[in-house]
């Protein structure tokens, strides 16, 4: 019952979607924001929702060690427990933890062939078969397109949804449809792009690409104090 209740607070449900299927199998989604605005926290909430649905999630970090990534999950879970006065959160976490696998690379040492090799090691030994991959720290520079195209092929061949955290910069002037460079150069590879946009004391979740919620749907914000997604009415999601 607790698991089902938390699934109903799925952040993507608040964007007008019933599940994380906002992107198709083999599809790409992006969460764009400046440094420190909440990209990783958003990805962790997407991961937790998928884990609660008994899907396996591979979290690939190109910046942080495994211990720091684990702390992100623990912090988000702690905030959820505090928000809803959940007493059994530790027990629930133990049941879904086997569905998560963390993989780290140095940015300069990351490549799609290396990721595919490590993923193959896991799958061929029946250790782990991810249905979702989160990539945090991927450099969206002028040479990113080849790697992203290769990763898209890998995702499509294995029916895996992939979400990226995309770092933007204050000085960058938005291009077409408000998309910041250099993401604009690879935007065609993505089915969905969501931007975390600071507005006064709020962090608003804005859809740059993909299906959007109905016009009368509540505006989504990322609570700066808890990094949990909620609508303007104050209803907080997972």
In-domain check, residue 236: no
Question: Is 238 within the bounds of a domain?
Answer: no
pLDDT over threshold 60, residue 10: no
207: domain CATH number is: 3.40.50.300
Q: What is the pLDDT of residues 128-154, one digit of tens each?
A: 999 999 999 999 987 899 999 999 999
- Spatial contact of 14 and 220, defined as CB atoms under 8 Å apart: yes
- Report the pLDDT averaged over residues 177-196: 90
Instruction: Retrieve residue 157's tokens.
Output: 């061949």
**pTM of this structure:** 0.90
| Domain contains 128 | yes
How confident is the model at residue 2, as a pLDDT? Answer: 63
Q: Domain of 201?
A: 2-231
Domain contains 108:
yes
Is residue 121 included in any domain, yes or no? yes
How far CA 97 is from CA of 25, 77, 92, 190, 193, in Å, comes to 23, 12, 9, 28, 28
Domain membership flag for residue 71: yes
Q: Provide the domain count of the chain.
A: 1
Residue 214 in any domain: the answer is yes
Residues sharing a CB contact under 8 Å with residue 85, sequence separation 6 or more, in sequence order: none
């Amino acid at each position: 019952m607790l698991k089902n209740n938390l699934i109903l607070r799925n952040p993507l449900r608040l964007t007008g979607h019933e599940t994380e299927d906002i992107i198709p199998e083999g599809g790409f989604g992006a969460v764009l924001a400046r440094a420190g605005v909440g990209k990783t926290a958003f990805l962790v909430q997407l991961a937790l929702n998928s884990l609660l649905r008994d899907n396996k999630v591979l979290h690939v970090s190109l910046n942080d060690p495994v211990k720091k990534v684990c702390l992100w999950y623990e912090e988000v879970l702690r905030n959820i427990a505090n928000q809803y006065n959940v007493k059994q959160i530790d027990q629930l976490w133990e049941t879904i933890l086997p569905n998560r696998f963390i993989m780290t690379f140095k940015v300069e040492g990351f490549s799609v062939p290396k990721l595919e090799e490590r993923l193959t090691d896991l799958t061929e030994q029946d250790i782990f078969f991810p249905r979702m991959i989160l990539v945090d720290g991927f450099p969206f520079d002028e040479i990113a397109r080849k790697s992203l195209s290769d990763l898209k092929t890998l995702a499509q061949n294995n029916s895996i949804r992939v979400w990226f955290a995309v770092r933007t910069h204050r000085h960058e002037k938005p291009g077409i449809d408000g998309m910041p460079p250099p993401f604009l150069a690879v935007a065609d590879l993505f089915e969905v792009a969501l931007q975390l946009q600071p507005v006064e004391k709020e962090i608003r979740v804005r859809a740059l690409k993909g299906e959007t919620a109905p016009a009368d749907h509540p505006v989504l914000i990322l609570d700066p104090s808890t990094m949990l997604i909620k609508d303007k009415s104050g209803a907080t999601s997972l």
